[in-house]
Amino acid sequence: MKTGTDGANRLGHGNHQNGNGTKHQNGSGGNGVGTNREVVARWRVPMHGKIYEIEFEHGTASGKRVLWIDKEEIFRRDWMFKLVGEDTFKLDDKRCIIRVDPLPGFKYCYSLFVDGKSYEQFTESQAKALKTWEINLKDNFYRIVLEKNTLNIYVNGKLIEESGEFVDGGTETTFIEDGNRFVLSARTSGNKREGIVHSLEVNGATVGDSASSNSDENGDNGDAQ
């Protein structure tokens, strides 16, 4: 079993990324992912129990721009005389913008904004709002996400309908997946600063703890080459 985590993966991928989710690319094109693809930037965006992988192509000779979300092509603009500017799209119910800015030496900077926030700001807010567990049970993988503000629970991106029951010190929500019994508990810590403590049990076994999960999952938040 992998241990529970607060939030989600905050690192994007690309040729160069600084701490705010911005990518830098020189004028020679993309990283050659796939035939005739010029992917210059990738971001992983946690939202509503899912992690969306966003890929952006930019042909610096033709001005071509292509947006992919989870390997599905969302839009394609093959010839654009203006090599910089913004492209707008929706991710679930959130308005997103990819902005292409010029840099010295015929280079370009790619930035993602989600719901009016920079990529870094949005993923940081999600890290505070979400509690996530990733579990392997035999041949099955489960990603359990709790939205702390709404108390919605998602299993592999699907919202479950079960309601919590009041127990001593808090609530428990029980749901069954593939014969496995999950119990998600929310209990008062007794510490005003710590607030509510969320924990998950699967078939009677506790799944990890927040302290160990943060070191395992979040990794280095510096530059990605």
pLDDT in tens, 53-87: 999 999 888 888 999 999 999 999 888 778 899 99
Q: Per residue in 132-151, pLDDT tens?
A: 999 999 889 999 999 988 88
Is the residue at 18 inside a domain? no
* pTM score: 0.68
- Domain annotation covers residue 138: yes
* Digit-coded pLDDT (tens) for 202-220: 999 998 643 333 333 333 3
Please provide the DSSP assignment of 138-185 as one string.
TTEEEEEEEETTT--EEETTEE-----EEETTEEEEEEEETTEEEEEE
In a domain? residue 220: no
Domain assignment present for residue 171? The answer is: yes
Q: Is residue 16 part of a domain?
A: no
Lowest mean pLDDT among 17-26, 57-66, 164-173: 17-26
Specify whether 169 is located in the same domain as 197: yes
pLDDT-derived band at 224 (thresholds 50, 70, 90) equals very low
β-bridge mates for residue 184, sequence order: 173, 200
Residue 45: pLDDT over 70: yes
Whether residue 103 sits in one domain with residue 152: no
What total number of domains does the chain contain?
A: 2
Task: CATH number of the domain at 192, please.
Answer: 2.40.128.180
For residue 16, give the nearest of 36, 42, 37 by alpha carbon. 42
In a shared domain, residues 111 and 136: no
- Establish if 217 belongs to a structural domain: no
Residues 6 or more apart whose CB falls under 8 angstroms from that of 72 comprise none
169: region left, alpha or beta (phi > 0 left; psi from -120 to 50 alpha):
left
Nearest to 15 by CA among 86, 99, 109, 104: 109
Shared-domain flag, residues 103 and 169 = no
